[in-house]
Chain A
Amino acid sequence: MKRFREEGRTVIFISHDLSEVIELTDTITILRDGEYIDTVDSDKVTEDDLKRLMVGRELKGHYYRTDYGEPISDEVVLTVEGLTVSGVFEDVSFKLHKGEILGIGGLSDCGMHELGKAIFGASENRRGTVALANGTRINSIRDALLNNMAYTSKDRDNESVVVFETIRNNICLPSVDKLAERGVLRHKKLDRFAREFAEMIQVKMTDVNQFVSSLSGGNKQKVVLARWLGKDFDIIVLDSPTRGIDVKVKADIYTLMYELKKKGKSIIMISEEIQELMGMSDRILIMKDGRINGEILRSPDLSEEDFIAKMV
């Protein structure tokens, strides 16, 4: 890009990686919800200024939850023991508590993404056990869904949503058994159901019959979350929930996670972003080379160095 500029050509660079945008550009134009907001000079703005313009309200440095020191419930909802997927991760054991946001961090190839799938029963060749508080084993996706577990993948377009389908069918698909009346699906009911949850989470769409493929990354993720809200769950595994998503939707997702926590839902958040893990989790497990390499408890005094030391 710099070479292009030196050669006298013009580059329009579209991104929501703010530090990159500031570093590489001369002027920045900000759009929000399809509308022009402002154009600023790159050398006169900070990341926080941009965030404010993008979100439309003050974000005091960050948009994570701000509570500290709240005790984690003693009630265990999920026990993972000796979980292994050969060649990816080995002997992972931990307990998840009611109303807890458990962060799992590490480098992207540390095995944590596959771990998320394995917990949801979606991995082949898995060893070890995943069990609910009442002893029910989760061995397949079917088991997971029947026992109110949900999962959103890092690979959103292939695993989380059926992109070449409508928003409506995507939201209704996991809940289809619940929606059928004596085996019959009524279209009005499906429409109403999809609209209810899409609007609850403010998916930006023309209507629920729009194809998911035409939505932005952030709105696709909202559809993913809407479908699970519709299904209702007690435990959700969120793999990289804010990957490739702009700050406004990011803030919405964090708010939603906190609300879910308050309602007593348990969340496992797998993420490559240390800031996010630090800002949202009650407890963080750090993985390295397929094994758990340490546990960090929520605290306002954490620094990225604490994490990096355990990751690398």
Chain B
Amino acid sequence: MVVFAFLTDMRIVQPNSINLILSQVYVLMIAASGVFMVMTIGGLDFSQGSILGLSSIIISYLSFYNIILAIIAGVVAGAAIGAINGFFHVKFRIPSFIVTICTMFLFRGLNAYLTTNSPVAAHVSVTSYNVTWLKMLLTILVLLILYLVFKYTKLGMVLKAIGAGETAARFSGVRTNLTKFLVFTAAGAITGFAAFLNVIKVGSITATAGNQLETQILISLVLGGMPITGGAKVRFYNIVVGTLIFCILNNGLVMLALDTAVQQLIKGIIFVLVVALTIDRKSIQVVK
């Protein structure tokens, strides 16, 4: 932040820029909180972008009928894709990153098909929900619920135990398969909810909606200090700190008027550096 403050002649700390950064962070932060759970158990989820895309399309369609129904349908669609991820990961013991890359391509394809002729526009009224307090409230609500669950319920302890040592967790009576399935489903559902905020922001959904969301989430969480192998050293603040740093970084790079390719390159380098510097080599296992 400080670096960018200087590099951009303080432009980044102007209220306008801060508003811009905040407006970008909501969707990312909510979606990241679902993936946070997946990564805590030592998994990865690359299907988030396509979930956001499909749920956004569904919400847009249904926004002509009833907005509450639309939100619910978006969440259900996200949960369904998450459940597919969880089912194949658990039942056929396929590593989660492979399963989720498959669903990523599958649903990205579906999204492209649904938006072939024209972008799917939502009802005009949805943009009236595009107000800062509502988006902030919903984001805080999601984070707060997750924080309480993670810190004060059995689930939080169980998730970390699975990430730190799945077999030992199973021998301690944790229903590992069920938990894993539910975590992927929940991550999908949460991103399905984030899709609502996406729809009210952009108004119409194109084929590229949600592209690269998965990598943005991954980079954010790692920047926030999350161990890529999950486990006991995971902290809740990883989500908040990580997504904020990522958005600041993103905006800073844009303000420096760098070429998009160069921006990607810089983000990639930072990601590799952070992983290399923070990875706990003692506990590294195959990512599930």
Contact = CB atoms under 8 A, between A and B. Distances in A.
B173 A162 contact: no
Interface of A: 120, 122, 141-142, 145, 151, 153, 158-166, 169, 172-174, 176-177, 180, 183-186, 211, 213, 227
B171 A142 contact: no
Contacts of B174: 173
A177 B160 CA distance: 16
A153 B171 contact: yes
Contacts of A186: 152
B165 A122 contact: no
Interface string B165-176: 101111111110
Interface hub of A141, A142, A153, A227 (most chain B Cβ within 10 A): A141
Contacts of B153: 180, 183-185
B28 interface: no
A160 B154 contact: no
In this complex, the member of B160, B173, B282 whose beta carbon has the largest number of chain A beta carbons within 10 angstroms is B173
Contact of B158 (A160, A163, A164, A176): A176
A185 B157 contact: yes
Contact of B168 (A162, A176, A185): A162
B232 A174 contact: no
Nearest to B175: A142
Contact of B169 (A120, A145, A162): A162
Contacts of A142: 173, 175
Contact of A141 (B157, B170, B233): B170
B154 A162 contact: no
Contacts of A177: 154
A296 B233 CA distance: 48
A165 B160 contact: yes
A151 B161 contact: no
A162 B165 contact: yes
A175 to B, nearest CB: 9
B172 A164 contact: no
15 contacts: A122-B171, A158-B168, A159-B167, A161-B165, A162-B169, A163-B168, A164-B165, A164-B283, A165-B165, A165-B232, A169-B161, A173-B169, A176-B157, A184-B152, A184-B153
